[in-house]
Amino acid sequence: MSHGGRWRHGLLLALVALYSVFPIYFITVQSLKTPHEDVFGSPLWVAHPSFENYAELFEGPEAPVRGFVVRPRVPYERWLLNSAAVLAGSVVLTLTCAVAAAYALGRLQPPGWRWWRRLLFATYVIPHTVLFIPLYQVLVALGLDDSRSALTLVYSTMALPFCVWLLSAYFQHLPREIEESAFVEGASRTAAFARILLPMSRNVLVAAGLFTVGTVGQDFMLASVFLLDPAKQTVAAGLGVMDVSLEELVAVAGVNVAAVPVMLLCGVLARGYVRGLTAAMVEGS
């Protein structure tokens, strides 16, 4: 690549990085503003940073009221705990089911396994907006309405098809000599899978797990419909339905606080995520 080509390539990457980071910067700037500066100040920077929005977020209903704000009846910490519980449960349930199903499709290869894999991937053509009414009817019939467990189950159902497709593509093309050498040593199929194949799939599991985190973290509609009790709501549902009036900056601070752990997790596991996606796509191609 010529010197000019490297400069163009670098400039393009810089623009993509700027485009990706700007929403984080903008939300952080807004969360550090006072109501006065939010109205009369610049939208792109904050002249006098203040953490009063974060302070009021954790002080709850007992905090002094500024402006015309209707504060949530439920402490923000409870919403954070609910979100963490739903997120952890969704990831564990999705990966557990995805690993078992992917091993069956990718290694055991039952009749029609190729069409099953294609059908799983094709489910993402269906918009999620047309599914929440039938899903809600099913949950009500099962007695799981207004339950965090129901939301965990729904999120796992949404993330499971892609995770199975991804993992099965990786399992399918792993050399079978790996398992056969373990069988010669007397290991069972379960032992060979747990001790050899599963550790080798660490990066692909990271990719599937982060995909599940993204599916759960960006949802507002399902959390708002399935969790009506404010004490059971997640951060997205709680802040979304709360009337913040002139104090929307408090809600922005709440979004920022909830996003920080997810960003740190993605940053720490970014290399494994890229390696996992690359390995699955190359092996499955």
Check whether 285 has a pLDDT greater than 50: no
Per-residue pLDDT at 96 = 94
Per-residue pLDDT at 98 = 93
Percent of the chain past pLDDT 90, that is, above it, reads: 10
Q: How far is CA 143 from the centre of its chain?
A: 26
User: Burial, 84: exposed, middle or buried (Cβ in 10 Å; 0-12, 13-18, 19+)?
Assistant: middle
pLDDT in tens, 237-263: 887 766 544 467 888 888 888 888 888
**Interval 210-235 mean pLDDT:** 83
How far is the C-alpha of 127 from the C-alpha of 125, rounded, in Å? 6
Per-residue pLDDT at 255 = 84
Q: How far is CA 12 from the centre of its chain?
A: 27
Check whether 91 has a pLDDT greater than 90: yes
How far is the C-alpha of 152 from the C-alpha of 88, rounded, in Å? 9
Per-residue pLDDT at 241 = 67
Per-residue pLDDT at 3 = 65
Computed over every residue of the chain, the mean pLDDT equals 82
How far is the C-alpha of 127 from the C-alpha of 98, rounded, in Å? 21
pLDDT in tens, 158-199: 899 989 988 988 888 888 888 888 888 888 888 888 888 888
Per-residue pLDDT at 97 = 94
CB distance 94 to 212 below 8 Å = yes
Q: How far is CA 116 from the centre of its chain?
A: 25
How far is the C-alpha of 197 from the C-alpha of 171, rounded, in Å? 8
How far is the C-alpha of 134 from the C-alpha of 127, rounded, in Å? 13
How far is the C-alpha of 7 from the C-alpha of 2, rounded, in Å? 9
**Interval 193-220 mean pLDDT:** 86
How far is the C-alpha of 2 from the C-alpha of 94, rounded, in Å? 46
- Give the CA distances from residue 27 to residues 45, 110, 179, 197, 259, in Å, rounded to whole numbers and listed in that order: 10, 49, 50, 42, 10
**Interval 138-142 mean pLDDT:** 86
pLDDT in tens, 118-138: 888 788 777 777 887 888 888
Check whether 214 has a pLDDT greater than 60: yes
Amino acid at 167: L
**Interval 36-64 mean pLDDT:** 77
CB distance 145 to 136 below 8 Å = yes
- Give the CA distances from residue 127 to residues 119, 123, 131, 138, in Å, rounded to whole numbers and listed in that order: 15, 9, 7, 18
**Interval 39-54 mean pLDDT:** 84
pLDDT confidence band for 94 (50 / 70 / 90): very high
Per-residue pLDDT at 108 = 83
- The continuous run of DSSP H or E covering 38 comes out as helix 35-40
- Burial call 251-274: b when 16+ CB within 10 Å, e when fewer: bbbbebbbbeebeeeeeebeebbe
